[in-house]
Every structure is written in C-alpha cells, then in structure tokens.
Homo-oligomer: A and B are copies of this chain.
C-alpha cells in the first residue's frame, strides 16, 4: 500500500487555489470557509506535497502596498524553509477583478492592457523571489462572445506584444523560470484564444526567438476534454515538440462546463494512457521536465505501477509486435531526401491489395487485454 505514497522525486505540486477554493458556483453559495495562502502552503506540506503553485492574489490582495507584499513574502519564505516545500509555479490573476471583464492582454482598452502587463511584472518579481521554476499564463478572459467586438487577428497581435515584453523582462532580470501558456477552449468567455494545445504551440513560434525558446505549454486534462480532444494526443504533440513544461492532471466529462474533477474520476483509461506517456518518455528524452497532479497523487502512483504491468505483459508484447514491428529493410528509406532515395522509392514494388492484408490488426484483442490488466485480472 505504501508503494503508492508520494515521494519528493515524484514532484507532485498543487495550486493554492485548489485548497483555497470556497466551493461556490454560478448557482450556489460557498460551501467551504476560506483559508489564507500561507496556511494553504503549510497544509500541503503536511501532506507530503513537493511544491505549490500560486496566483499573486492567492497571497496578496489586489492593490496591496509594497510593504504588505514584503510582509507576506517573508511569511511564505518562512513556511517554505520550515517545511521544505518549494514553489513550483507562479501565475497572475488576470480574470477575477471586473477590470478584466473583457480581457487583459487582448482588452480593447489600452489602459487595461497596460495594467495587466504591470500586474504580471509584479507577480514575476514575487515568483522569482520564491524560486518558481515555471511562470504560467492563462488567458481566462482573452476571448469574446460577440464576435463583432474583437478582431481575432488584432487580438493575437496584442497578446504577442504583451508576451514578448514580459519575456524580455524575465530575461533581463535573469529570472530563470520557464514561461508557459495554458490552453482552454471556453469559460468564462464564450470562446477563448488558444483553445487547444496546438494553438498555443503555434503562437509560441511567432514570439521573439529568445522568448519563444523559454516558453512552452502546460495543458490541463479537463481543458482538453472541454474541447472534446484526446489528451494523449494533445500531450503527445507538446512533448514531441519539446514544449511540455508542466501538467495539470484532473478530469471531467467531455464538452461540458469546467468541472475540475479529480484525475481518473471520469476515465480511468485516459488517465492510464497519460501516465504511460509520461512514464515511457520521461526517461528517454524528457530529462528535467517535471509533472504534477492536482489532487490525486495516489491514483497517479497506482497507474504508474499498472503501466509497468502493461509494458511487461507477454500477451500484449506479442500482439504489439504483430501490430507495430517493421521490416528493417525499409528503415529510413525516405528519411533523407536524395536522388538515390527518390530512385529507390520509385523502384519499390508495393502492392496495396497485398499490403492491405499483410498484417492482422488485433485491436479488439489488444483493447480487451488492456481492460483485463486494468481490472487486475490475469
């Protein structure tokens, strides 16, 4: 049982907001009491959590004076020192105050845009002081319901201008944290920019190169499922691009309001495949990338063990060999373009009718075997 205890090397981190959330929703009043940010940090540390994530306003109220900020930061640093918990991630609340009701970096009001950039600068200073490894941008209100009100081309240009400035600010101040964009398709806006992982990855490539280089994405399972996409594929593309900075592991039913349920609540299988992706790739080419789950460290560990079982299963290995193993003679036949390769490609005699049946695709058996291993049978 203790095999499932979280260890520091697992690098599980939690947002303070998960603990501080008072359980209010658009149709109902608070169901829990508020706790302070510092208390939340200590509470996480007591449960063996490695790191915490914070919004500026989880720690200090909006409009706090420099002195107020200094005082809170001292308390936070003391709590960190006493408990050993680290600061994993900082991020700016650019969505709660009504000033952001029509967006922050993409607001139509240039004062609001400037105010948002100012607010991020200050949060970056705090994150750097706490040694955060990552600094996240979630554009919660960067979007529209009335399409006539916001030109999407102009909006991206505005977002880029702000992001570039802040990327240079981090660089010039020698803040070492990675920057990261968190995609989400909608809610609280009708449509938000960067609805899916790809939109954020593509946007990053258009930033100033030194900023782009230190910017990645931190996809959240529930956000991907709100867009009806396959988390395995979305995480896979980010990972393959070398841009997976951080993970938010939770769950929800696809294509509904933001439910933020615990990891594996809805789909054990999807949860399993994410853990498998991270396990299979972490030790190959992902050195230095770390992961965290928001609520369910225990399930993560259980699935990690199950990944090992699946990866070692002889029946599956045999079926996968049948499905996946190639003909070595074709390895790299078009990996590098050259006249010789073209000639070779032209000369290959490949009969589609034969190829169509050249290999069994026992996908039903593959999936049934996986189900059995997930159920702990056989």
Judged by a CB distance under 8 angstroms, whether A233 is at the interface is yes
Question: Are A63 and B28 neighbours in the complex by a CB distance under 8 Å?
Answer: no
Judged by a CB distance under 8 angstroms, whether A331 is at the interface is yes
Q: A115-B352, A147-B273, A345-B117 are in contact. Are A326 and B110 (CB under 8 A)?
A: yes
Question: Are A296 and B257 neighbours in the complex by a CB distance under 8 Å?
Answer: no
**When the two chains form the complex, which single residue of B24, B149, B205, B259 contacts A145, counting CB atoms closer than 8 Å?**
B259
Judged by a CB distance under 8 angstroms, whether A62 is at the interface is yes
Question: Are B195 and A355 neighbours in the complex by a CB distance under 8 Å?
Answer: no
Give chain A interface residues in 126-183, CB to chain B under 8 Å. 140-141, 145-149, 151-153, 155-157, 161-162, 164-165, 168-169, 172
How many copies of the shown chain assemble into the complex? 4
With a cutoff of 8 Å between Cβ atoms, the chain B residues found around residue A342 in the complex are 121, 169, 172
Give chain A interface residues in 96-125, CB to chain B under 8 Å. 96-102, 108-115, 117-118, 121
- In the complex, which of the residues A1, A27, A273, A327 has the most CB atoms of chain B within 10 Å of its own CB atom? A27
Judged by a CB distance under 8 angstroms, whether A324 is at the interface is yes
Separation in Å of the A371 CB from the closest CB of chain B? 6
What is the bound-complex CA distance between A151 and B320, given in angstroms? 11
What is the bound-complex CA distance between A280 and B157, given in angstroms? 16
**When the two chains form the complex, which single residue of B112, B267, B358 contacts A109, counting CB atoms closer than 8 Å?**
B358
Judged by a CB distance under 8 angstroms, whether A91 is at the interface is no
Q: A109-B359, A198-B198, A375-B375 are in contact. Are A114 and B345 (CB under 8 A)?
A: yes
Separation in Å of the A361 CB from the closest CB of chain B? 6
Question: Are B256 and A187 neighbours in the complex by a CB distance under 8 Å?
Answer: yes
Question: Are A375 and B114 neighbours in the complex by a CB distance under 8 Å?
Answer: no
Judged by a CB distance under 8 angstroms, whether A353 is at the interface is yes
What is the bound-complex CA distance between A339 and B205, given in angstroms? 25
Question: Are B202 and A371 neighbours in the complex by a CB distance under 8 Å?
Answer: no
Those 4 A-B pairs whose CB atoms lie nearest each other, nearest first: A376-B376, A198-B198, A152-B236, A198-B199
